[in-house]
Structure 1
Amino acid sequence: MSKIYLFLAIFFVTTFSNAQAIYKSIDSRMLGQERQIKIQLPRNYDKNPENHYPVILVLDGDYLFEPIAGNVDFFSYWDDIPEAIVVGINQAGSRRADTYADDIQYFPSKSGKNFFDFIGGELFPFINSTYRTTNFNVIAGHDLTANFANFYLFKDRPLFQAYINLSPDLSPQMAGRLYQALGSTGSQKWFYLATASNDVAELKRSIEQLHLQLNTIDNDNLHYTFDNFDKPFHYSLVAHAIPRALEQIFAAYKPINLEEYEELKTDDSSPLAFLNKKYGTIKNLYGVNLPVRLNDFLAVGKAIEHKENWDELEKLGELALKQDPDSMLGSYYMAKSLEERGKTKKAMRMYESAYDKKEAGFITADFMIRKAELIKKDFGY
């Protein structure tokens, strides 16, 4: 499995690079210098001026930006995660200064504090004022920068909701502080932690000890994932970890899968309520206004039909018609509901009314014609 992740990560970067990087220089008052950044906008950014997007900030952007941006582009292309704006900060030659912390409190100090304030006080205001962003922010880093990213968790109102820790070089007291902050968080937080069998030995030991602590946290607001990959080294583990981290952070966004569909068919819950809750969760967590996907309409529709809840199927049809009145989907659900409740003439007319609408999955013009013709044949209309 780890070999597959490595191959895919390389494939993402080399093949799915249609979303072009934008290179900018920010003249920072806090840093007293210009800082180079890279920005990847979603490939459909200009086509969808009404859409807003989460932001993924990549520290060590000189080498970490491309693999993360490539994965984001690939996964969002297949609709497994939302489209996102990826921002990388180049730190070649400055990462030690950028991550500097004092030897007493072990918090960012001097050049480290300046860099910390630059991200929150200059970079994000620039990104938010220039591009269409949501309030969901992710930060990713590797060893020193991964450790540094975690300092944002200790703010009263953290700038980031999700943290990708790729083999973090943990500073003194960091483990205890993370345990306390994540254990007591009153808002949704995602924390991804990764090491590997051939990681730097000292880092690996401290990361595994941190995992033992974090794994005991009982807090419904924390979404925690740990990976200890077999065979990768300190740098190669990055390629394995990135897709895993993105899948974990955006798990709620994914289309309804086969396991969820089978549960919807067999349990006592309302499939329509499940659908409404799912898309409400996507909006509340990620700030993304996502229309209900065809896959999810079809899964929920099949589950409702299996339960023979025809009143609920009618409500699903109303939702589909409201979202896209030009699609056959809503007309089919409305007609099917009418037919099963014995209102055959109305059902026939509803099937016929959809002949010239857009097809949706298995719902084609021929399919709708056959449905209407069968009613005519059976009832002599």
Structure 2
Amino acid sequence: MKKFLLILLSAYMTNVWAQITTENLGSKSLDGTRKVTIVLPDGYDKRERYPLFVVLNASSLLEPTVSSMRYFNKTGEVPPAIVVGIYNTESDVTIPEETGIPFNDTANFFEFVGQVVVPHVQSKYAVNSFKGIIGDGEAGNFINYYLLKENALFDAYISLSPNVTEKIIPSMPEQVDSFKRPIFYYLGWAQIDDNAKLKKVKELHNLMNTKEYTNGFYYYQEFPRVSISAVPVSGIPEALNLFFELYRPITMREYAEKVVRVQTNTTQYLQDKYKSIKDLYGIDKAPLLEDVKSIYAAILKNADFESIPILVKYIKPYYKDTALPDYLEGDYYLRIQEPQKAFRALQRAYGAKEIDFVTKELISQTLERLQKEARGKLKTKKGDVVIPEKTEQSAEGNSAENAKDTENNTSKTE
């Protein structure tokens, strides 16, 4: 038994660590090479496309970044992403005070990240258009210079306890909002940081926070009782969670405050949500079953029945191998008093794969009730699925509850 567990553990570790690759990369202008670790998401599939996050100061920031990514990926709150950790030196990312811009070593490293590391990862792995960068201390300031370029290399910036260059502070808020695509920026710092450093961070924050953004997003957090070294452990997961707020499944609060208040064409809410996920993050995400159920519950609650066919058409490409689309179509016809069409749709659903609350038992009960109400006049066609008949007692016992099943199984508690 012990030997079996060791083999199982070994296989698990091999599977996990097979997702991690370490290389030494360099460039003509860079002094030597830099260690670069590439971490692929669990279940990486080269046919998919993933966001890319570059992590500077990888010796301290890579682990909390990867841990946060994996945790949120499991909860469905953050998409799977490729993480690249760069083991830079302090001089690589320290902006000279006299120039206020990347110069010599920092200029070389700046180009190394943008012209060597990112293209290298893009050429080897399935990366989409969304890119982020993370840094703290001097590196937290260094990453701002990618944002200050005419064409920003990254879409998301996590700057933790940065040693901000004073010269760039006035231009930062406008720059966040100056691009056609949305920019996400997170600033996190410890309240107990060095006074001179803290003063510049708060000056940057005050300007960033008073700006009204039309196409950018600014988030921040001051950590009052933690050490500087603890800021990344709290700041990185918070930033990721905020950046990908739209990616999350529909919550109970979102349902109560937004979804259920849509009175007509409720399906449009779901379509808009997933279009925005594509536009913001470059991710073609299939609509989650729980999100579909939330929309359906709102449709039933508001008697917005004409949204059901729109919902069916939208989800069919994603759920075509399940009973869900045909069941929803059948339920629609039931609600608009077209029993023959409902009967046919539900028969198709019965022959498809069960999913969540849409079980063969539920479908057969609904079909039995339909036939009973139509006094056996509903007709099947050649090739239709024949539903096994139940005893009269069973059919009568179940029929009284069927009308409520759909709403009970899909509704949310407000």
Same fold (TM over 0.5): yes
Is the 2:266–2:304 Cα contact (8 Å) retained in structure 1?
no
Looking at structure 1, the residues matched to 352 and 127 of structure 2 have their Cα atoms a distance apart, in angstroms, of 34
Q: Residue type of the partner of 1:85?
A: I
Is the 1:305–1:313 Cα contact (8 Å) retained in structure 2?
no
1:89 to 2:89 alignment: no
Within-5 A mapping of 1:115-130: 115-130=109-124
Looking at structure 1, the residues matched to 359 and 72 of structure 2 have their Cα atoms a distance apart, in angstroms, of 29
Moved over 4 A (4+): none
Q: Residue type of the partner of 2:120?
A: F
- Return the offset for 1:183: 4.5
Is the 2:97–2:165 Cα contact (8 Å) retained in structure 1?
no
> In structure 2, the residue corresponding to 1:256 is in which secondary structure?
coil
269-278 vs 108-117, greater mean Cα deviation: 269-278
Q: Residue type of the partner of 1:224?
A: Y
Looking at structure 1, the residues matched to 29 and 154 of structure 2 have their Cα atoms a distance apart, in angstroms, of 20
Looking at structure 2, the residues matched to 69 and 251 of structure 1 have their Cα atoms a distance apart, in angstroms, of 18
Looking at structure 1, the residues matched to 249 and 58 of structure 2 have their Cα atoms a distance apart, in angstroms, of 30
Q: Which residue does 1:151 correspond to in 2?
A: 145
- Return the offset for 1:374: 1.6
Is the 1:294–1:360 Cα contact (8 Å) retained in structure 2?
no
Among 276, 286, 311, which residue is 1:281 paired with? 276
Q: Which residue does 1:12 correspond to in 2?
A: none
Q: Which residue does 1:41 correspond to in 2?
A: 40
Q: Which residue does 1:76 correspond to in 2?
A: 73
- Return the offset for 1:288: 0.9
63-72 vs 21-30, greater mean Cα deviation: 21-30
> In structure 2, the residue corresponding to 1:235 is in which secondary structure?
helix
Looking at structure 1, the residues matched to 293 and 269 of structure 2 have their Cα atoms a distance apart, in angstroms, of 13
Q: Residue type of the partner of 1:376?
A: Q
Looking at structure 2, the residues matched to 359 and 198 of structure 1 have their Cα atoms a distance apart, in angstroms, of 56
Q: Which residue does 2:135 correspond to in 1?
A: 141
How many residue pairs match? The answer is: 361
1:260 to 2:254 alignment: yes
Looking at structure 1, the residues matched to 259 and 265 of structure 2 have their Cα atoms a distance apart, in angstroms, of 8
Structure with larger Rg: 2
> In structure 2, the residue corresponding to 1:296 is in which secondary structure?
helix
Q: Residue type of the partner of 1:24?
A: E
Q: Residue type of the partner of 2:28?
A: R
Percent identity (aligned) = 27
> In structure 2, the residue corresponding to 1:158 is in which secondary structure?
coil
- Return the offset for 1:40: 0.8
Per-residue deviation, residues 142-192 of structure 1 (Å, max 9, x unmatched): 111010000001111111011001111111212112133124444311110
Within-5 A mapping of 1:285-324: 285-324=280-319
Q: 1:354 to 1:180 in 2, by over 3 A?
A: closer
- Return the offset for 1:80: 0.6
Task: Tell me the TM-score normalized by structure 2.
Answer: 0.83
Q: Which residue does 1:6 correspond to in 2?
A: none
Is the 1:199–1:232 Cα contact (8 Å) retained in structure 2?
no
165-174 vs 197-206, greater mean Cα deviation: 197-206
Gaps of 5+ in 1: 1-14
Q: Residue type of the partner of 1:65?
A: L
> In structure 1, the residue corresponding to 2:226 is in which secondary structure?
strand
> In structure 1, the residue corresponding to 2:166 is in which secondary structure?
coil
1:371 to 2:366 alignment: yes
Task: Tell me the TM-score normalized by structure 1.
Answer: 0.90
Looking at structure 2, the residues matched to 271 and 200 of structure 1 have their Cα atoms a distance apart, in angstroms, of 52
Gaps of 5+ in 2: 1-12, 377-414
